[in-house]
């Protein structure tokens, strides 16, 4: 996928730095630093790999849990602080405000004993060089423990969406069930696996059970949902490519594209490579080109191809300007355009999207999507197929985008998708995030006719 989705990739850096005794016990301090930078506009996907070498490997999951968790429920925590502080801490003391958010999150949402959580956060003031605020941090958190029930009653008097108002206002006119979308976004995401197409799903499910890992299935023939998430190192034959971590709704991309051996296929905005590898699983002898605009993200594509023992042509270039990288070359039989988008369908996986994305971003993304869609259409041969995909739930980026394109292109035919509820009038398939289901995704399949056939 294109980086403008601001979708974090899983941190994979190795922890090789020797840690000092002080560094090894400052997870809460580092979490506060990361949250401060997030509020200043940086994404957790970029920040966490930078901090990975600053904690012991065993503590990194806790750092992830705290930072993602605070981002997920940030408005509620900030509301609670209004009852504990006379006024918000700003300027140089803003880091202390973030540290208090860490403390509240641990008390409310983790299994850390309450008083231990308070002590750990209070001790973090030394690592952050705000030891003069130690007494304040201690007093605020201990007061919350004493008055927790009363404060929560006040703070939770009105339902918190945990989402910015501008996003809610875009959902309401389109989705009568918009509250269900919000509630799903506020949950921790399930972990989905894609069993390699060369392996029977039931066989791999039995291998997981033999390792004490329980799963549930889905209509998608390769998908398994873990009832409890685990590290990939615990998955049987992960390094050998028997399984890939991929959301169930994202797994429909390659299936809907219907790749065939011998075809020339473009995966546009391909990073981190989950869909590229899936295409090659279904059509091992297809000629696949994986395109992305950022070289550092293409590293993940190469790693995934290597793990699954696959090969593809990799190009670092701008999808909206194909003349710069595909001039005078054959047109593609099929194109998967996983367009850069608002990523509003994957908020539960990357809750910082709620605070990093701004309303003015949406028209800019819509314009970019259309520009890339136009460019990809010129690379598609007659009778070829283009699958348009986003991980967005916004109609502007999805249904309305395709309706606009169809009006402008009489050589484009909308293909009905094989999902329940699809009719001749359906413009693509919009998946919405579900607590035990997949993420928010949109698909529309277009066939290109020659001018003569039209």
Residue 192 lies in a domain: no
In this prediction, residue 443 carries a pLDDT of 98
Report whether 275 belongs to an annotated binding site: yes
In this prediction, residue 450 carries a pLDDT of 80
Report whether 421 belongs to an annotated binding site: no
Helices (H), 294-424: 295-307, 353-356, 361-379, 399-408
* Residue 258 and residue 141 share a domain: no
Residue 386 lies in a domain: yes
Residue 176 lies in a domain: no
Distance CA(338)–CA(340), nearest Å, equals: 7
Report whether 131 belongs to an annotated binding site: no
> DSSP code of 15?
-
Report whether 318 belongs to an annotated binding site: yes
User: 3-state DSSP call for residue 388?
Assistant: strand
Report whether 139 belongs to an annotated binding site: no
Asked if residue 230 lies in contact with residue 213, where contact means CB atoms within 8 angstroms, the answer is yes
User: 3-state DSSP call for residue 221?
Assistant: coil
| Boundary-marking domain end, from 100, 130, 156 | 156
pLDDT tens-place string over residues 275-286? 999 999 999 999
Report whether 59 belongs to an annotated binding site: no
Tokens 């009363």 — which residue? 150
* Residue 147 and residue 257 share a domain: no
Show the tokens assigned to 22.
């002080």
* Residue 255 and residue 151 share a domain: no
Give phi and psi for 353, each to the nearest 5.
-55, -35
Give catalytic residues, as residue numbers: 391
Distance CA(211)–CA(243), nearest Å, equals: 15
Total tally of structural domains belonging to the chain: 2
Report whether 274 belongs to an annotated binding site: yes
Whole domain around residue 405: which residue ranges? 250-448
Residue 267 lies in a domain: yes
Residue 322 lies in a domain: yes
* Residue 403 and residue 259 share a domain: yes
User: DSSP for 83-97?
Assistant: TT-SS---GGGHHHH
Report whether 165 belongs to an annotated binding site: no
Residue 167 lies in a domain: no
Report whether 292 belongs to an annotated binding site: yes
Residue 453 lies in a domain: no
* Residue 380 and residue 255 share a domain: yes
* Residue 415 and residue 271 share a domain: yes
Half-sphere exposure (CA, 13 Å, Cβ side) for 351?
25
* Residue 390 and residue 272 share a domain: yes
* Residue 265 and residue 151 share a domain: no
In this prediction, residue 11 carries a pLDDT of 36
In this prediction, residue 451 carries a pLDDT of 67
204-213: list long-range contacts, CB under 8 Å, 24+ apart: 204/236, 204/242, 204/243, 207/236, 207/237, 208/235, 208/236, 210/236, 211/236
Give phi and psi for 420, each to the nearest 5.
-60, 140
If 0-12 CB within 10 Å is exposed, 13-18 middle and 19+ buried, where does residue 217 land?
A: middle
* Residue 396 and residue 267 share a domain: yes
If 0-12 CB within 10 Å is exposed, 13-18 middle and 19+ buried, where does residue 95 land?
A: buried
| Boundary-marking domain end, from 136, 156, 176 | 156
Residue 374 lies in a domain: yes
Per-residue pLDDT of the chain (454 residues; tens, 9 = 90+): 343 343 433 333 333 333 344 443 589 999 999 999 999 999 999 999 999 889 998 999 999 999 999 999 999 999 999 999 999 899 999 999 999 999 999 999 999 999 999 999 999 999 999 999 999 999 999 999 999 999 999 999 988 899 999 999 999 999 999 999 999 999 999 999 999 999 999 999 999 999 999 999 999 999 999 999 999 999 999 999 999 999 999 999 999 999 999 999 999 999 999 999 999 999 999 999 999 999 999 999 999 999 999 999 999 999 999 999 999 899 999 999 999 999 999 999 999 999 999 999 999 999 999 999 999 999 999 999 999 999 999 999 999 999 999 999 999 999 999 999 998 889 999 999 999 999 999 999 999 998 665 4
Nearest to 362 by CA among 221, 229, 169: 169
Write the CATH number for 336.
Answer: 3.40.50.150
| Boundary-marking domain end, from 129, 156, 183 | 156
Write the CATH number for 99.
Answer: 1.10.940.10
């Amino acid at each position: 996928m294109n980086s403008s989705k601001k979708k974090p990739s899983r941190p994979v850096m190795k922890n090789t730095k020797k840690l000092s005794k002080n560094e090894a016990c400052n997870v809460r301090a580092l979490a506060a630093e990361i949250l401060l930078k997030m509020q200043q506009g940086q994404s957790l996907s970029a920040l966490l790999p930078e901090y990975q070498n600053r904690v012991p490997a065993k503590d990194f999951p806790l750092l992830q849990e705290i930072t993602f968790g605070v981002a997920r429920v940030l408005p509620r925590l900030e509301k609670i602080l209004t009852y504990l502080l006379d006024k918000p801490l700003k300027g140089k003391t803003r880091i202390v405000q973030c540290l208090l958010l860490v403390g509240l999150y641990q008390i409310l949402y983790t299994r850390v004993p309450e008083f231990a959580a308070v002590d750990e956060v209070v001790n973090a003031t030394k690592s952050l060089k705000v030891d003069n605020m130690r007494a304040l941090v201690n007093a605020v958190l201990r007061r919350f423990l004493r008055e927790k029930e009363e404060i929560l009653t006040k703070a939770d008097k009105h339902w918190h969406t945990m989402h910015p108002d501008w996003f809610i206002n875009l959902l309401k006119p389109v989705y009568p069930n918009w509250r269900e979308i919000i509630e799903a976004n506020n949950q921790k995401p399930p972990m989905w696996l894609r069993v390699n197409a060369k392996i029977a799903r039931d066989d791999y499910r039995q291998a997981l059970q033999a390792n004490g890992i329980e799963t549930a299935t889905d209509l998608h023939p390769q998908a398994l949902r873990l009832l409890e998430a685990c590290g990939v190192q615990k998955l049987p034959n992960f390094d050998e490519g028997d399984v890939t971590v991929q959301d169930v709704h994202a797994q429909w991309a390659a299936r809907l594209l219907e790749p065939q051996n011998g075809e020339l296929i473009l995966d546009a905005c391909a990073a981190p490579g989950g869909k590229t590898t899936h295409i090659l699983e279904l059509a091992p002898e297809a000629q696949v080109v994986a395109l992305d605009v950022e070289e550092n993200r293409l590293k993940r594509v190469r790693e995934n191809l290597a793990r699954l023992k696959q090969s593809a042509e990799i190009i670092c270039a701008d999808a909206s300007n194909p003349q710069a990288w595909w001039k005078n070359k054959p047109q593609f039989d099929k194109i998967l355009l996983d367009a850069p988008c608002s990523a509003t369908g994957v908020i539960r996986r990357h809750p910082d999207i709620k605070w990093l994305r701004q309303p003015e971003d949406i028209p800019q993304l819509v314009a970019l999507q259309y520009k890339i869609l136009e460019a990809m259409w010129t690379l598609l041969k007659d009778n070829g197929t283009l699958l348009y995909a986003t991980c967005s739930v916004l109609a502007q980026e999805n249904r309305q985008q395709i309706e606009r394109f169809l009006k402008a292109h009489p050589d484009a035919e909308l293909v009905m998708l094989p999902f329940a509820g699809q009719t001749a009038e359906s413009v693509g398939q919009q998946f919405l995030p579900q607590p035990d289901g997949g993420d928010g995704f949109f698909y529309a399949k277009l066939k290109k006719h020659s001018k003569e056939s039209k």
